[in-house]
A and B are shown apart, each in its own frame.
Chain A
Amino acid sequence: MKVAVTAQGRDLASEIDLRFGRAKYLLVVDTETNEFEVCDNTVNLNAAQGAGVQTGMNIANLDVDAVITGNVGPNAFRTLNAADVKIFLAKKCSVQEAIDKMKSGELTAQESANVEGHWV
């Protein structure tokens, strides 16, 4: 399974980025082999609005089955849902720990956004 994790750094030891839309990096991890690729998401760091939507679209284009992040707002949720990407929420931990938690079934798929959107 291919999973995108919002991350603050470029490797599996780095902490996950709890912010979805304005996450610095997206680490695309193959959960079978633990191999990963790094995608730069910094272009969204300073987006005036719609960062969640844009990051959601970036993730949809990565052909992943799921995403692990800290929080997800209503627009990002709608985008990911339309792209059939499952959303798992994790608390502060490393990317590797988040992947392990998902594999052991500690994380459950989100049925809705867990935070409010921020309008401009």
Chain B
Amino acid sequence: MTKKNIKIAVASGKGGTGKTTISTNLARAIAKNRRAAQYLDCDVEEPNGHIFLKPEIQKSKAVTIDVPEVDNEKCNGCGRCSDICQYNAIVSLKKVVVTFDQLCHSCGGCKLVCPTSAITDKAKEIGFVDIGVAKEIGFIQGRLNIGDIHTPPLIKEVKKAASSDSVIVIDAPPGTSCPVIEAIKDCDFVVLVTEPTPFGLNDLRLAVGMVRELKLPFAVVINRSDAGDDEVLKYCSKEKIDVALEIRDDIEIAKAYSKGEMIVDVAADYERGFIDLFDYIDKNIQLQEKLI
């Protein structure tokens, strides 16, 4: 049986390689030619897939996390709350307990160990999840409040908002740390976007290390493939990594991009490339399913 609700993450070590370009076009190509698709913008610190997809947002919901609130009247100053906190988000001083919302990871440990029930949960808003449609595809994005650092919990909410009956394309944040791990960790396949430059290769190596650590199947897409050198291709061949798509450094793409337009709308052969990319991923996932 064909698995319908497959999750594809589009990630990269390096920023600016084209994650949003690849993920928006891939989602559109899937929805137009293959199956129902949703695009999830998990780059919540700077979501910009909406520029290409121009969605109609139907609802926005605030996302909150629980942080401790202390009733100093009830506190007996035992200090167990600050002893258990691994992030120094709560300190018990002689007369008063001080909390630091930005350091809190919402584990709830302080509340559990408090012998006088002086600690309760307080909801702290960290950002928003917007849900809507962009032509034929479902659109969901996270928006982290400016100055907030609770990126992973917001990404988790964006992923929860997705429906389970379509292909999900996740636009991940750049880098190799907590936010991108949260975005890609339960995906069926990861597309690593890079560019053929020393910078692209350096950060691709880091990203490959990350997906191998997570034991996720992956392939590489090279953007502006004829712009630099062939070191990325050599690396992929040596490491036996599939290069699933190469996109030329084409002035027409650059023009469309600068106007916030999609590659698949520029020329039919580009759309073909994204359909082939999806078919490659789909085949790969179905093959793994059979192996399990």
Contact = CB atoms under 8 A, between A and B. Distances in A.
B82 A57 contact: yes
Contact of B91 (A49, A79, A119, A120): A79
Contacts of B149: 119-120
B98 A78 contact: yes
Contacts of A50: 87-89, 100, 103
Interface of A: 47-51, 53-54, 56-57, 60, 75, 78-79, 82-83, 117, 119-120
Contact of A49 (B82, B88, B92, B96): B88
A56 B103 contact: no
A83 B92 CA distance: 10
A45 to B, nearest CB: 14
Contacts of B82: 57
A50 B102 CA distance: 10
Interface in B84-115: 87-89, 91-94, 96, 98, 100, 102-103
A62 B99 CA distance: 20
Counting chain A CB atoms within 10 Å of each CB, the highest count among B88, B92, B94, B100 belongs to B88
A90 B47 CA distance: 43
A83 B98 CA distance: 10
Interface of B: 82, 87-89, 91-94, 96, 98, 100, 102-103, 149
A75 B89 CA distance: 10
A30 B87 CA distance: 32
A51 B96 contact: no
Nearest to A55: B88
A65 B89 CA distance: 24
B87 A49 contact: yes
Nearest to A83: B93
B91 A57 contact: yes
When A and B form their complex, which 3 residue pairs have the shortest distance between CB atoms, in order from nearest? Answer: A50-B88, A53-B88, A83-B93
Nearest to B177: A120
A60 B93 contact: yes
A78 B89 CA distance: 12
A120 B180 CA distance: 15
Nearest to B92: A57
Contacts of A47: 88
Contact of A75 (B94, B96, B103): B103
A83 B79 CA distance: 14
Contacts of A53: 88-89, 91, 98, 100, 103
A60 B79 CA distance: 13
Nearest to A58: B91
A83 to B, nearest CB: 5
A35 to B, nearest CB: 24
Given A119-B149, A120-B149, A79 B98 contact: yes
Nearest to B147: A119
A32 to B, nearest CB: 23
A115 to B, nearest CB: 16
Nearest to B88: A50
A50 B90 CA distance: 10
Contacts of A51: 88
B103 A79 contact: no
A75 B100 contact: yes
Given A53-B88, A53-B89, A75-B100, 5 more contacts: A60-B93, A60-B94, A78-B100, A82-B93, A119-B102
Given A49-B103, A75-B103, A54 B98 contact: no
